[in-house]
């Protein structure tokens, strides 16, 4: 059966992304891409669930029951954490509010969608990141004997180097990269805020072959493209990371129990900067955080940092007992010992 095109949902989605989000809501390109990814995932799920192609879906197909099953799939099959699940739901809620304004005849369906609750517990999820040896193993499994392998190695090395969001990396062009000393990249983050991040000379050398085809008019061409010459997507980066993680886990057992996604590489950079003694303000600027409070989450991410902090506060309490001496120090009562802490 031939479906008229565009239908109500098709026309609404075009206006939603081309007019409503950028013009009326003033959302940044990064946020719009995040909303796009969420709705693309839902449309794929809904098409399979309804047994119809995505272009044949209607507004009533955005029912609360289907959205709930979609969110469950994100967690169970894609391994998304609660925060990611809630971000996808937020995009669906925004779309539902927009549709309700122009299509009140579907209000009951849209109100039910808006009633789908966010899931509690997102803040309690531990931050996943890679230890130094795990980073080495991940990079070591990438076959650099061909161009795509060289691209992948440069991609992940740059992500570890800068701690940038994956979309910030994918938006890079040759014009954003300085290969001569001091080597650096210009990143455009949330709210179109621009920051400059230094890169190691070794990272600059990895980027040089990617920048060479972009001389002259090609300066605005994305740095990271797929085998067809099209811009690499966030889904593509996720796929590549999962593939290399599976290979690295065969050599590094500690990787087998970790759920690593592209944003985990950003967490990895932040935690290792903190371990190296870099102050929170510098890390916040490095990562492009809008608030220092966002950076503070890394203070509780690493167990080694907690041990070091505890040793500074209670060095004697955590020291190994000396031979022949146990319990409290001699001639010091419990109350006096507590007062000295």
CA atoms within 13 A on the CB side of 256: 6
Q: Contact, 288 vs 193, CB < 8 A?
A: yes
Q: How far apart are CA 203 and CA 222, in angstroms?
A: 17
> 85, 88, 151, 289: which one is catalytic?
289
69 is catalytic: no
| 267, two tokens | 């967490």
Our answer to whether residue 129 is catalytic in this structure is no
Length of the chain: 341
Check 81, 85, 261, 266 and give the catalytic one: 266
Pick the catalytic residue from 165, 261, 267, 272.
Answer: 165
Catalytic residue (choose from 298, 322, 325, 340) = 298
Compute the distance between CA of residue 64 and CA of residue 105 in angstroms, rounded to an integer. Answer: 16
Is 244 catalytic? The answer is no
Measured CA to CA in angstroms, residue 74 lies from 21, 83, 84, 289 at distances of 24, 11, 9, 26
Give one DSSP letter per residue of 27-79, joined into a string: --HHHHHHHHHHHHHHHHHHHHHHTS-GGG--GGGS-HHHHHHHHHHHHHTS-
Provide DSSP, 299-332: GGT-HHHHHHHHHHHSHHHHSPPPTT--SSPTT-
In the residue annotation, 103 being an active-site residue is answered as no
Closest CA to 177 of 213, 218, 208, 217: 208
The residue annotated as part of the active site, out of 81, 263, 267, 272, is 263
Q: Per the structure block, which two tokens stand in for 152?
A: 């992948």
190 is catalytic: yes
Per the CB < 8 A criterion, the answer to whether 97 and 114 are in contact is: yes
Rounded CA gap, 45 and 147, in Å? 34
Catalytic residue among 30, 190, 221, 275: 190
CB count in 10 Å sphere of residue 177 = 22
Active site residue 165: yes
Cite the active site residues.
165, 190, 263, 266, 289, 298
């Amino acid at each position: 059966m031939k479906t008229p095109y565009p239908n109500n949902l098709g026309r609404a989605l075009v206006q939603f992304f081309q007019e409503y989000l950028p013009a009326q809501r003033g959302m940044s390109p990064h946020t719009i891409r995040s909303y796009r990814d969420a709705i693309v995932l839902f449309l794929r799920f809904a098409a399979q669930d309804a047994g119809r192609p995505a272009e044949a879906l209607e507004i009533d197909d955005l029912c609360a029951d289907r959205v709930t099953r979609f969110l469950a799939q994100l967690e169970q099959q894609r391994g998304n954490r609660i925060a990611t699940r809630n971000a996808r739901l937020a995009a669906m809620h925004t779309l539902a509010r927009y549709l309700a304004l122009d299509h009140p005849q579907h209000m009951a369906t849209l109100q039910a969608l808006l009633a789908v609750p966010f899931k509690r517990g997102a803040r309690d999820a531990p931050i996943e990141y890679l230890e130094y040896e795990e980073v080495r193993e991940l990079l070591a499994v990438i076959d650099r004997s061909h161009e795509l392998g060289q691209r992948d190695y440069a991609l992940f090395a740059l992500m570890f180097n800068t701690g940038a969001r994956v979309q910030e990396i994918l938006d890079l062009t040759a014009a954003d990269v300085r290969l001569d000393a001091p080597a650096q990249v210009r990143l455009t983050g949330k709210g179109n805020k621009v920051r400059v991040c230094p890169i190691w000379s070794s990272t600059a050398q990895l980027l040089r072959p990617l920048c060479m085809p972009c001389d002259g008019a090609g300066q605005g061409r994305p740095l990271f493209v797929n085998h067809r010459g099209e811009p690499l997507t966030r889904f593509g980066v996720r796929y590549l990371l999962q593939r290399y993680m599976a290979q690295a886990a065969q050599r590094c057992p500690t990787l087998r129990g970790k759920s690593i996604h592209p944003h985990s590489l950003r967490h990895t950079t932040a935690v290792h900067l903190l371990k190296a003694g870099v102050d929170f303000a510098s890390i916040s600027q490095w990562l492009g955080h809008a608030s220092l409070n966002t950076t503070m989450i890394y203070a509780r991410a690493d167990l080694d940092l907690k041990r070091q902090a505890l040793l500074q506060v209670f060095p004697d309490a955590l020291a190994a007992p000396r031979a022949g001496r146990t319990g409290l120090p001699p001639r010091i009562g419990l109350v006096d010992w507590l007062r000295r802490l």
